[in-house]
């Protein structure tokens, strides 16, 4: 039995651990750029709390509140300019997966004029970057421990990943308290992203005995606790479990990577009138992908189904989606057959990690059509 595991990110996990943000950041610099989304962190009070914690530790934080739900290269460029003007020695990303991705992108592009040309490339480990401290406020992407950042280069109209070991955050401060008051829809869509990581970490060609074990644990946690969010019954124990499941999924993304649904969802970024969140996009695509992929890895899919309390992966995911209110289609969010050529043109990344063999445009087009 042979496998590799690489996780250079130090994880600080638990309720109340946000209080350690100042001490953690001060290990790298006494000046930091704190990146967040446009409103949620300020209105929740968490932004001011983070600034106060940093100040108490002797860290002067400049705040950038300009990251959108699907981060754009111009937003990252603006953050980079602010970091340079502030002489920041570290970047803190505090928010959902989009904010964490934007923070990682800004950190690796800090010596460049623009992040746009880096989209779709792999960054060498030796690249001169700023250290990133990732503070997730959703339980889904696992971006706090991954080596990628999904960004839309507005110059090319191209949404893809910046990847490489240089993108790993130095520290992840995972405080499930920050997820306690998430809007229900955000929590559910983020949670499906975590389930996708669990499934794909188990069936990917790069999966290992360790990634499969983590996948099964994450799938069990998500199956039990995410429906409680949908039913407004989630307590602190459930929120902790979901944050842990997201973290486990992130570890798998960093090591086993993802499968075809992630490539297909990323390609939807420029193809329709209203781009869904990453988690919702995956939820739309998953039933169709499962029908194509199951024959190529039935044992691995059956094991995930068992972790979810079923003996059939199709039924398991169908009931899960129905239970959390995310069973929907491409057409229901505004897409049509006319959008599929644009999706196909935007496909990027490695397709060889999927259990499906010999993936071509015809198969991808059929899958998109099935999801309509």
Give every CB contact of residue 191 below 8 A, 6+ residues apart in sequence.
139, 140, 222, 226, 229, 242, 246, 279, 324
For the domain spanning 182-371, the CATH number is: 1.20.1090.10
User: What is the reported pLDDT for 294?
Assistant: 98
- Digit-coded pLDDT (tens) for 15-43: 999 999 999 999 999 999 999 999 889 98
Q: Is 271's pLDDT higher than 60? A: no
Strands (E), the chain: 10-13, 31-37, 60-67, 90-95, 132-136, 148-153, 158-163, 171-174
Please provide residue 57's backbone torsions phi and psi, each rounded to the nearest 5 degrees: -90, 0
- Digit-coded pLDDT (tens) for 110-167: 999 999 999 999 998 888 899 999 999 999 999 999 999 999 999 998 999 999 999 9
User: What is the reported pLDDT for 4?
Assistant: 75
Give every CB contact of residue 1 below 8 A, 6+ residues apart in sequence.
209
Read off the pLDDT band of 368 (50, 70, 90).
very high
Pinpoint the residues of the chain covered by CATH 1.20.1090.10.
182-371
User: What is the reported pLDDT for 361?
Assistant: 95
Average pLDDT over residues 201-211: 97
Predicted TM-score of the model (pTM): 0.95
- Digit-coded pLDDT (tens) for 165-188: 999 999 999 999 999 999 999 999
How many CB atoms within 10 Å of residue 8?
Answer: 12
User: What is the reported pLDDT for 270?
Assistant: 55
In the chain, % of residues over pLDDT 90: 90
User: What is the reported pLDDT for 272?
Assistant: 45
- Digit-coded pLDDT (tens) for 309-339: 999 999 999 999 999 999 999 999 999 999 9
- For strands 148-153 and 158-163, give the pairing: antiparallel
- Digit-coded pLDDT (tens) for 84-108: 999 999 999 999 999 999 999 999 9
Query: Mean pLDDT for the chain?
Result: 95
For domain 10-178, which architecture applies?
Answer: 3-Layer(aba) Sandwich (3.40)
Cα→Cα distances 175→95, 132, 215, 316, Å? 12, 17, 21, 29
Pinpoint the residues of the chain covered by CATH 3.40.50.1970.
10-178
Please classify residue 327 by burial: count the beta carbons closer than 10 Å to its beta carbon, then call 0-12 exposed, 13-18 middle and 19+ buried: middle
How many CB atoms within 10 Å of residue 42?
Answer: 14
User: What is the reported pLDDT for 1?
Assistant: 64
Read off the pLDDT band of 273 (50, 70, 90).
low
| Most confident among 266-270, 275-279, 358-362 (mean pLDDT) | 358-362
Please provide residue 172's backbone torsions phi and psi, each rounded to the nearest 5 degrees: -115, 120
């Amino acid at each position: 039995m042979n496998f590799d595991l690489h996780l250079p990110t130090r994880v600080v996990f638990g309720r109340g651990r946000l209080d350690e943000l100042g001490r953690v950041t001060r290990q790298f610099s006494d000046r930091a750029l704190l990146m967040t989304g446009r409103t949620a962190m300020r209105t929740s009070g968490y932004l001011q709390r983070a600034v106060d914690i940093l100040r108490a530790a002797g860290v002067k934080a400049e705040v950038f509140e300009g990251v959108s739900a699907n981060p754009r290269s111009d937003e990252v460029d603006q953050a980079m300019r602010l970091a340079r003007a502030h002489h920041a020695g570290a970047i803190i990303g505090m928010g959902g997966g989009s904010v964490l991705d934007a923070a990682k992108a800004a950190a690796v592009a800090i010596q460049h004029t623009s992040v746009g040309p880096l989209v779709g490339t792999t960054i060498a480990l030796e690249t001169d970057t700023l250290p990133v401290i990732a503070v997730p406020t959703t339980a889904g992407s696992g971006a706090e421990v991954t080596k990628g950042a999904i960004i839309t280069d507005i110059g090319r109209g191209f949404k893809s990943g910046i990847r490489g070991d240089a993108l790993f955050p130095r520290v992840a401060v995972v405080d499930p308290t920050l997820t306690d008051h998430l809007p229900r829809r955000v929590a559910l869509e983020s949670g499906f992203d975590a389930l996708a990581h669990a499934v794909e970490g188990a069936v990917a060609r790069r999966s290992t005995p360790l990634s499969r074990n983590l996948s099964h644990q994450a799938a069990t946690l998500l199956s039990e606790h995410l429906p409680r969010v949908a039913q407004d019954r989630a307590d602190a124990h459930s929120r902790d479990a979901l944050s842990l499941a997201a973290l486990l999924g992130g570890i798998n993304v960093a090591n086993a990577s993802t499968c075809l649904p992630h490539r297909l969802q990323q390609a939807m970024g420029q193809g329709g009138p209203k781009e869904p969140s990453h988690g919702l996009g995956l939820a739309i695509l998953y039933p169709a992908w499962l029908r194509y992929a199951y024959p190529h890895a039935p044992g691995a899919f059956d094991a995930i189904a068992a972790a979810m309390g079923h003996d059939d992966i199709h039924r398991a995911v169908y009931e899960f989606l129905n239970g959390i209110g995310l069973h929907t289609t491409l057409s229901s969010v505004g897409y049509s057959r006319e959008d599929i050529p644009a999706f196909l043109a935007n496909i990027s990344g490695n397709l060889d990690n999927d259990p499906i063999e010999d993936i071509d445009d015809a198969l991808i087009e059929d899958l998109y059509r099935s999801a309509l």
